[in-house]
Structure 1
């Protein structure tokens, strides 16, 4: 995308893609062996999975630099400002890839951790942040990028879009930090102390504290849902006109021409 926008040379982008693919494929494929722990596979599978799952964090750290570069590119030239919010969603992809796939993935991937954490709420902590945080944000960013290219005649009213961006990201963070993650960590402690059966039992999960933590998720879910509705309202407004100003987006038209 940045190549088509004229922000990166094709040679630079190609080298970066090949380097990234090499890192992710060489470590990522073997790293998926963490799905095979304690399933009757031989010990070398556990050893390789543990090592490469840990190494998966290394390229994900580099994504933090990618996020900074994307943010810098969004301010590089005046016409790139027309693509500010699509680029911000790409920045969110890099952030959640680092946090969701990297930090929370590494939290549960080591064999000694997964032995006690398997099937607890620590798994959806990783799943929610890595799945929607990465692929959800990526899909939204690509959608907005395409919509900007298809409808650049008028300047966008981005207040609703900005509200949607922050609501979705803050809602996702809150649903994890104040609900799912605390429940998962408490289950992990119970699993280590008393056994996995107890951590998943009704006796433990139906305590007053656990009930409160589960209800706390409503806060993050509600903020997230409001952000999704706002995004839908904004996209619908591109068709009906309430998300557009009367000002012609000359800068956006120049960006589209340079991309084509």
Structure 2
């Protein structure tokens, strides 16, 4: 049974915290994903076996948390992430962000650089509302955003995504590839070459844009967006171990 956190914005955020030594490893999931996903559960078990603190949670409109997906946007989910790490854990943390959670981890790292001791992203999708959604919309879709307030986009993994005008406009307020993005801690970006949702070009753009003395991108030939088979899960463990060891 998940614990529930009430945020200042009135949202109820469901979470699971594993007690242990720090820094706490915090998993940030992807768009329309939840904290019961393969990577989150695997990392929890791995941290528990090591006696390490771990946190996984659902953004509002996801999983067991309050609200609907269509109500949410990048800024809301950033508020949820800040609320979770502020209320549930103390001291430093390592962020592990998957897909949209990669964008969220970059926002959280920018908001709380003093707490961040390591960052691992998995198929990070920074600025996707602008560079993927908006850039890919045709005139009819852009008109529908204005008139209807939303459009439906097909997904390779589940039912269509409902993309709202608010999500697009809010995304523009939270872009991370248009302004300085500097890290004083070890950073590892993981990316599969067969990912059809996030391109290797996106991963390389993030690597080239971000600044830091200890930053690496690992391209995994054949891995897809899920990045959750046994080999990929092992690579995630290696990356977290790496940044913890360098912290």
The TM-score with structure 2 as length reference comes to: 0.23
* Greater RCO, 1 or 2 (C-alpha within 8 Å, sep 6+): 1
Q: Which has the larger radius of gyration?
A: 1
Q: Going by fraction, where is strand more abundant, 1 or 2?
A: 2
The TM-score with structure 1 as length reference comes to: 0.22
